[in-house]
A and B are shown apart, each in its own frame.
Chain A
């Protein structure tokens, strides 16, 4: 069964007689063990969506079910099934140490300290936090604080984990570490994760599925690979020798990258017009260039995302 079901949910914020339609009739589901990325430009409604699922913002209409429990009418049971890190490193107590924080949140959920001790130490080890486990959180780096916040969420063993921008402000190493651990947790423990991020690399690397929202509406919901395939028909790389061309004058082609490879030159582009490829080859030939190869390339999620948001 689905761990999360969002059904025709809308949110209208009204303040000072102004009304903002932040989320516009969205529906989607998340399966157990699935990692889903919620993408969208600033103000698309990602945080609003996540906080509605966490029961912190009341939807204007629609229903949300966690593990089959309605978060409005059966809140107590629904909340047992979900844990969230919503304000990155701000969701924990800075005066307390990582161990004390983890214990606090476990206790507050009803677990005894003894029953979670083993898992707590496992988590601290997995996130490389053992060394700082007894230092006040305020003395830790931002990345460590964020990892502690994730530990505090994980300790509850809730089958659904919500993460709002978990990699915001993290360096490459820490991002990778978090990425790997999240993937491991989803795989081993069967936790479902719904995360928002502006970091397309993170999303591409760990998410099984991506939901793109724009102005509160879902404009795409599919596997990452399917989304990439959708656009890959138009992405090419052409390698040639000699010839000197200013690609900017070509219509119907969007140049992504052009570079010199040893003696060869290459251009990666997105085709926006069927005939433009032939035109490009013609221009290369006319300028005295010799064609070496044409190959299809895979756009990355970032390219796909930009196309979706610009178009849809």
Chain B
């Protein structure tokens, strides 16, 4: 099983190395968007909200990485013909996708952290980088997005050409991050918003993970794993359907 995880991490590495310039231009694009937002925000809102934007941007970038894994990458594997091989791995696709998610976490974290550093240098706002508190919160927050990715990936197995939703989702994620979870309790149950607030508290106010409200931690973990679970259930449903229709590899 460890070999499976290792295989995915290595493959991801080779991929990124091969598409090194794509990765660079991706980082550059994200950074440019950030600059745009940052300069705009500075003139409209003053310096107060800059930290919030930096953290929000960091989370947003991470969600894009994660969401694209199970929607875009899965679809490209189907198109390339490798998805069938992944479905034939004896451990089962559950573990295969877990390995893919972990590999994605690692590289996403590295890339987004690089962007974070760039953002901090640009703004001159150096946040509290309390890794012990940040990483678990970050992972739990992002896991919800993998749930959504699974849902879309499952749908895409049957209803092709669904990947265009990616652009729309970029905006949806931005809204979810910005959701005023402090004002409306129910917003805490949506993905991203609550996690973002908690990470912001850690990075901005220097609060430790164990100093955060327990109920919030509970809600965050529960909702994130709930979305992951629902996403996987939806995916499994469509996977079964695709097996019946004989279209696992069609694209």
Interface residues of A (CB under 8 A from B): 11, 13, 15, 48, 51, 54-58, 75-77, 79-80, 82-84, 86-87, 90-96, 100, 103-112, 136, 152
Is B245 in contact with chain A by the CB < 8 A criterion?
A: yes
- Measured in the bound complex, the distance between the Cα atoms of B235 and A281 in whole Å is 71
Which chain A residue lies CB-closest to B95?
A108
A-B residue pairs in contact (CB < 8 Å), sample of 28: A13-B246, A48-B246, A51-B84, A55-B88, A56-B243, A76-B91, A82-B88, A83-B88, A87-B81, A87-B84, A87-B249, A91-B82, A92-B82, A92-B85, A93-B11, A93-B80, A95-B14, A95-B18, A95-B19, A96-B14, A100-B10, A100-B11, A107-B3, A107-B6, A107-B7, A108-B96, A109-B90, A112-B3
Determine if B130 is an interface residue (Cβ-Cβ < 8 Å). no
Closest 4 CB pairs of A and B: A90-B81, A107-B7, A87-B81, A79-B90
**Chain A residue contacts of B244, Cβ below 8 A:** 57-58
Q: A82-B88, A95-B18 are in contact. Are A111 and B249 (CB under 8 A)?
A: no
Partner of B3 from A57, A84, A110, A152 at Cβ < 8 Å: A110
What would 4 more interface pairs be, CB under 8 Å, given A93-B82, A107-B10?
A55-B88, A82-B88, A90-B80, A109-B90
Min CB gap B99→A, angstroms:
8
* Known contacts A56-B243, A86-B249; is-contact A76 B90 (Cβ 8 Å): yes
- Asked if B89 is an interface residue, CB under 8 A from chain A, the answer is yes
Nearest B residue to A136, CB-CB:
B18
CA distance A48 to B243 in the complex (A): 11
Give Cα distance in the complex from A112 to B10, angstroms. 13
Instruction: List, in ascending order, chain A residues with CB within 8 A of B91's CB.
Output: 76, 110
User: Count of chain B residues with Cβ under 8 Å from any Cβ of A?
Assistant: 32
Contact (Cβ within 8 A) B243 A110: no
- Please report the C-alpha to C-alpha distance between residue A96 and residue B11 in the assembled complex, in whole angstroms: 8
Q: In the assembled complex, which residues on chain B have CB atoms less than 8 Å from the CB atom of A83? A: 88
A54 with B10: CB separation less than 8 A: no
Residues of A within 8 A of B1 (CB): 110
Is A110 touching B81 in the complex (CB atoms < 8 A)? Answer: no
Could you tell me the distance in whole angstroms from the C-beta of B98 to the nearest C-beta in chain A? Answer: 13
- Minimum CB distance partner of B5 in chain A: A107
CA distance A10 to B11 in the complex (A): 37
Task: Please tell me if B124 contacts chain A, counting CB pairs below 8 Å.
Answer: no
Select which of A57, A75, A92, A109 is within 8 A of B246 by beta carbon: A57
Which of B81, B85, B249 contacts A105 (CB under 8 A)?
B85
